A and B are shown apart, each in its own frame.
Chain A
Amino acid sequence: MFYIYCPYCGEHREEEEFHPKGQAHLSRPADPDACSDEEWGNYLYFRDNPRGLHHEIWVHAIGCRKFFNATRDTQSYEILETYRMGDAPRVTHFTDKQKS
């Protein structure tokens, strides 16, 4: 069971209040009509899916209902930070201690 800090509510809440929404920081092509099939397909479907640090979107579904980002280790499941939409992650690589 995750215990997740919502950066909007400013509180830790139980996992069941939240839904994960996949990889974060994907930017929609500015002009979809100008995309090749490959570019558009990559945007829609292809993902990093790393074994390790993952920046991902969550929604506080039965709380404030806002979307936010989290950086989580997909191996240990440890949540290293949560941050608001539009912000950049602070944790972008493991420190030696975090390496699992």
Chain B
Amino acid sequence: MPGHVLKTSADYDGETSSLPRETVATEEDLTMQKYSGFGLLKHSLTHHENWQRVWRNPKPKKKYDVIIVGGGGHGLATAYYLAKVHNITNVAVVEKGYLGGGNTARNTTIVRSNYLWDEAALLYEHAMKLWEGMSQDLNYNVMFSQRGVLNLGHTLQDMRDIQRRVNANRLNGIDSEALDTQGVQEIVPILNCSANARYPILGASWQPRAGVARHDAVAWGYARAADAMGVDLIQQCEVNDIITEDGAAIGVSTKQHGTIYGDRIGCVVAGNSGVLAKMAGFHLPIESHPLQALVSEPIRPILDTVVMSNQVHGYISQSDKGDLVIGAGIDGYNGYGQRGSYATIEHTLQAIVEMFPMFSRVRMNRQWGGIVDTCPDACPIISDTPVENLFFNCGWGTGGFKATPGSGHVFAATLAKGEAHELAKPFSMFRFHNGALIDEHGAAGVAH
């Protein structure tokens, strides 16, 4: 593998971040100061105590053009692109907890676009292109690190599937290579590529432009930029009903701030999508499952790429801080508890140790869970619904972080125009009635 170097790196650990400090809106807050190297130097002179608030903390207005329910990465990105691309700034993001505290804060941050089917590949590649310019666009360092992702193959069938997916990717203009065992070993010298392994590594698909990003920075960068354009970010405000009139949604009722009216409503609540759909009186083809991850104690740099395996089921990368970031599979039962079973983690660690015997004595530091919204075809739902003016963006399941910018971009267009963006059209919830499923279980087989 030529030129395989770690470019930038992400220092994240997937753990829930501390609550951004309470902020009070003042006049001066309304013009956002640009972040720069010079600013960093300037603020260092006052011990970094005079930084501007990152966003306002406004009281909700009575009515908005668009209400977005859910302040995770996808909801915040949607608000940002509504303001930036469509000039719609009378927008509220209503979040029951704090911004980016759901799956956005809990994921293992793998970003790639090597999906099999055209519909999915185009959507994830759309996101990838936006990732590549995101830090500049937002004036916020999201620490996007294109360190490459390997998807390992352990059986003849795995290798055939990899070949097929790599060819499909190339036809769609997505960087993708099929490697043999030796090619894999060259990229990751510490991987156990011996033929005597229980599930020997026969090869892999390799996407050099793939990588990781810092999850919190993505949420905060979108939030800050959206706020600066006038979007109201309303935290600690739980939606407990969707108000409809003659089959159309006209607003949301909230626990903390009463009714907020909106011309269009977009729900981007991941694991809670079924709960919101029920409020509006319909079902979704989605089940909510716990998905867990864990990080080790920090160790010296040892792994400069991302390794994933469907077959033995584990995925791993190393953060800047040095901790190994490891993702498990979903627990098979429905769960809203943001925690899963111990056995699931144990299986994952077995897979990791199988692939990296030298990690067997690394101690694990922390472990946590998110609630993922899994769809039967392992593809998302970006869709109108049986209720007019009500739209859902959900079903990203175990793998939506990578799509954050693309998802927000196409959902903003969908909300602005009242009909699905071209790239979103195949992802209607009604595909589960007409049978036009997009089966990405192969490319999405390992939770990520």
| Residue numbers in A under 8 Å from B284 (CB-CB) | 46-47, 49
Q: When the two chains form the complex, which single residue of A16, A72, A74 contacts B343, counting CB atoms closer than 8 Å?
A: A16
B275 at the A interface (CB under 8 A): yes
Cβ-defined contact, B283 with A77, below 8 A: no
Q: How far is the CB of B335 from chain A (nearest CB, A)?
A: 6
A37 at the B interface (CB under 8 A): yes
Q: How far is the CB of A81 from chain B (nearest CB, A)?
A: 15
Q: When the two chains form the complex, which single residue of A16, A47, A56, A72 contacts B285, counting CB atoms closer than 8 Å?
A: A47
Cβ-defined contact, B333 with A20, below 8 A: yes
B336 at the A interface (CB under 8 A): yes
Cβ-defined contact, B285 with A45, below 8 A: yes
B33 at the A interface (CB under 8 A): no
Interface 1/0 per residue, B280-315 and A, CB below 8 Å: 000111111000000000000000000000000000
Cβ-defined contact, A41 with B432, below 8 A: yes
- When C-beta atoms are compared, the residue in chain B nearest to A16 turns out to be B343
Q: How many angstroms from the CA of A19 to the CA of B343 in the assembled complex? A: 12
Contact status of A20 and B341, CB under 8 A, knowing A47-B286, A49-B288, A51-B272: no
Give the size range of B's interface with the partner.
Answer: 20 to 34
Q: How many angstroms from the CA of A2 to the CA of B376 in the assembled complex? A: 25
Q: How far is the CB of A46 from chain B (nearest CB, A)?
A: 4
| Residue numbers in B under 8 Å from A47 (CB-CB) | 274, 283-287
Q: How many angstroms from the CA of A48 to the CA of B288 in the assembled complex? A: 10
A50 at the B interface (CB under 8 A): yes
- Please give the number of chain A residues whose Cβ is less than 8 angstroms from any Cβ of chain B in the complex: 26
Q: When the two chains form the complex, which single residue of A19, A44, A72 contacts B432, counting CB atoms closer than 8 Å?
A: A44
Which residues of chain A (27-77) have a CB below 8 Å from chain B? Answer: 37-38, 41-42, 44-51, 54, 56, 72, 74-77
A89 at the B interface (CB under 8 A): no
Contacts across chains A and B counted by CB atoms under 8 Å: 72
B433 at the A interface (CB under 8 A): yes
B183 at the A interface (CB under 8 A): no
Which residues of chain B (316-339) have a CB below 8 Å from chain A? Answer: 332-337
| Residue numbers in A under 8 Å from B342 (CB-CB) | 1
Cβ-defined contact, B332 with A51, below 8 A: no
| Residue numbers in A under 8 Å from B37 (CB-CB) | none
Cβ-defined contact, B335 with A74, below 8 A: yes
- When C-beta atoms are compared, the residue in chain B nearest to A22 turns out to be B287
Q: How many angstroms from the CA of A8 to the CA of B274 in the assembled complex? A: 32
Q: How far is the CB of B237 from chain A (nearest CB, A)?
A: 18
B31 at the A interface (CB under 8 A): no
Cβ-defined contact, B334 with A74, below 8 A: yes
Cβ-defined contact, A72 with B287, below 8 A: no
B435 at the A interface (CB under 8 A): yes
Q: How many angstroms from the CA of A77 to the CA of B290 in the assembled complex? A: 11
Contact status of A75 and B341, CB under 8 A, knowing A42-B283, A51-B274, A51-B275: no
Q: How many angstroms from the CA of A74 to the CA of B342 in the assembled complex? A: 17
| Residue numbers in A under 8 Å from B283 (CB-CB) | 42, 46-49
Q: When the two chains form the complex, which single residue of B278, B287, B343 contacts A15, counting CB atoms closer than 8 Å?
A: B343
Q: How many angstroms from the CA of A47 to the CA of B284 in the assembled complex? A: 6
Q: How many angstroms from the CA of A19 to the CA of B274 in the assembled complex? A: 23
B136 at the A interface (CB under 8 A): no
Kindly name the residue among A38, A47, A56, A75 whose own CB sees the greatest number of chain B CB atoms within 10 A: A47
B18 at the A interface (CB under 8 A): no
- When C-beta atoms are compared, the residue in chain A nearest to B340 turns out to be A77
Q: When the two chains form the complex, which single residue of B272, B341, B433 contacts A41, counting CB atoms closer than 8 Å?
A: B433
Q: How many angstroms from the CA of A31 to the CA of B277 in the assembled complex? A: 28
Q: How far is the CB of A30 from chain B (nearest CB, A)?
A: 20
B434 at the A interface (CB under 8 A): yes
Cβ-defined contact, A49 with B334, below 8 A: yes
Q: When the two chains form the complex, which single residue of B274, B343, B432, B434 contacts A49, counting CB atoms closer than 8 Å?
A: B274
Q: How far is the CB of B440 from chain A (nearest CB, A)?
A: 15
Cβ-defined contact, A46 with B275, below 8 A: no
Cβ-defined contact, A76 with B286, below 8 A: no
Cβ-defined contact, B332 with A20, below 8 A: yes
Q: When the two chains form the complex, which single residue of A15, A19, A56, A77 contacts B337, counting CB atoms closer than 8 Å?
A: A77
- When C-beta atoms are compared, the residue in chain A nearest to B332 turns out to be A20
Kindly name the residue among A1, A42, A49 whose own CB sees the greatest number of chain B CB atoms within 10 A: A49
A sample of 13 inter-chain contacts (CB < 8 A) reads: A44-B376, A44-B432, A45-B285, A45-B376, A46-B283, A47-B286, A48-B283, A49-B286, A50-B278, A51-B275, A51-B288, A51-B336, A74-B333
Which residues of A are in contact with B by a Cβ distance under 8 Å? 1-2, 15-16, 19-20, 22, 37-38, 41-42, 44-51, 54, 56, 72, 74-77
Additional A-B contact list (18), CB under 8 Å, known A22-B334, A54-B334? A1-B341, A2-B341, A15-B343, A20-B332, A22-B287, A42-B283, A44-B376, A45-B285, A45-B432, A47-B274, A47-B285, A48-B283, A50-B278, A72-B333, A74-B288, A74-B333, A75-B336, A77-B333
Which residues of B are in contact with A by a Cβ distance under 8 Å? 272, 274-275, 278, 283-288, 332-337, 341-343, 376, 432-435
